[in-house]
Amino acid sequence: MLPLPVLERAAIEMTNANGTGQSVMEMSHRSGDFKPIIDKTEALLREIMHIPANYRVLFLQGGASLQFSMIPLNLAAGAEPGKASRRALYVDTGVWAQKAIEEAAKYADVSVQASSKDKNYTYIPAPSAAAGDEAYYHITLNNTIVGTRWPELPPAKLLGKVPLAADASSCILSEPLDVSRFGILYAGAQKNLGPAGTTVVIIREDLIGKAPAWTPVLLRYDIHAGEGSMYNTPPCYGIYIIGLVLEWLKAQGGVAAMEQKNREKAALLYDYLETSRMFRSPVEKPSRSLMNIPFVPVETGPDKRKEIEIRFVKEAAASGLVNLAGHRLLGGMRASIYNAMPTEGVQALVAFMESFEKRN
C-alpha cells in the first residue's frame, strides 16, 4: 500500500504540481520546476533518517537488484574486467541475499560468512568476524520471502573497519536505523518509500570514486554523486511520490512512531498464530519480520495443505483481503504489512483467519 493521503494529493496535483501548470511527469528534470522537488525529497529523507553530512543520497534506477552489481563493481572489482581486486563478505539469509552473492561473485572475491540455508532460512544466523581488510560486509536487513529480519546489526567489533553494506528495501523507514553504522544502504522504493522504479542509495563519501576505469558510466557512484542524481533523466515522478510519502511519515511522528505502530500490527498477527490450531509461523521468534509475515497450515499432507492454501487465498480475496498468496518459491500465505497498512487491515485479516479456522 501507499498512504491514502499521498495518493489523494498526487491525484489533485496530477496536472498542476506546485502551481506550475504541469504534471511532474511532464517536467524537464533539469528545470527550475523539478529541482525543488528532488531537493525537498532528499532534505526530508536526511531529516527523518538522521543521515550524517558525510553521506550522499542518490536517487537511481534498476531496483535493489542493480545494486547487487554496482556495490561490488565500485568497491571490489579489479583493474581488468573479470578480475577481483578485493574480498567481499556476505551473509546468506534467503533468495535476495543469494542473488546478491551470485552477482557479486562476478566482480569480487566473495566469501559467505554465515548462512541459514540449513533450516530453510527460517532464522538469522550469527555472523562471523571480518579479517579487517575486506571491501565490505553485506547483509539483507529484511527477507521478504521467508519473513525474517536482523534483530540487531552485526557488532561493530566484529566488522572492525570493514564497511557494512545493507539491502534495506523492505524495511527502510519501518524502524530507526543508525546510518553511521553503514558504509552503504540501498532500498528499492516499492515497499515503504514510494512506487516501483526508484532506488535510494545512501553511501558514505569515502566509498565513492573507487570504481575501476572500465566500469560503465551509469554504474559509477561518483558519476551520480557528482551530478546530483541527474547524470541522465532520473525517475522524476517516483522521486516526487517519495517526497509526499516522507511528508506523510513525518506527520505520523517519524520513524520511531512508525516502529511502534509496526510492532503493534505485527503482534496482532503473530499472537493469533501462536494460538491458532490451523495456521502457524514457520519463522523462529527472534528473527521474525515486522514487515512480512508468512504463515502455513499446520502439518498436513501436501495435497491437503495445498487445498487449504488455495481456498484461503480465494475466500480472502472475496472478502477484500488481497495479495495473501505466499511467494511462488515457498508457497503458503504471506501478509505484507508495510508502513501504510493501517492497524484495521491487520485486524480484518485476523478476524477472517479466525472465521476461516472455525469453518474449516
349-358 own/partner pairs: CB under 8 Å, 24+ apart:
349/269, 349/316, 349/321, 349/324, 350/268, 350/269, 350/272, 352/315, 352/316, 352/319, 352/321, 353/272, 353/276, 353/278, 353/279, 354/272, 356/278, 356/312, 356/315, 356/316, 357/276, 357/277, 357/278, 357/279
Active site annotation includes 191: yes
Q: Does residue 248 contact residue 270 with C-beta atoms inside 8 Å?
A: no
The single-letter DSSP state of residue 356 is H
167 catalytic? Reply is yes
Sign of CA dihedral 315, 332, 144, 353: positive
110 contact partners, CB below 8 Å, separation of at least 6? 72, 87, 88, 89, 90, 101, 104
Identify whether 150 is a catalytic site residue. Answer: no
CA distance 229 to 200: 10
From 33, 92, 150, 191, active-site residue: 191
CA distance 11 to 4: 11
The active-site residue out of 96, 109, 150, 261 is 96
Q: Which of 33, 92, 109, 167 is catalytic?
A: 167
Catalytic residues: 96, 167, 191
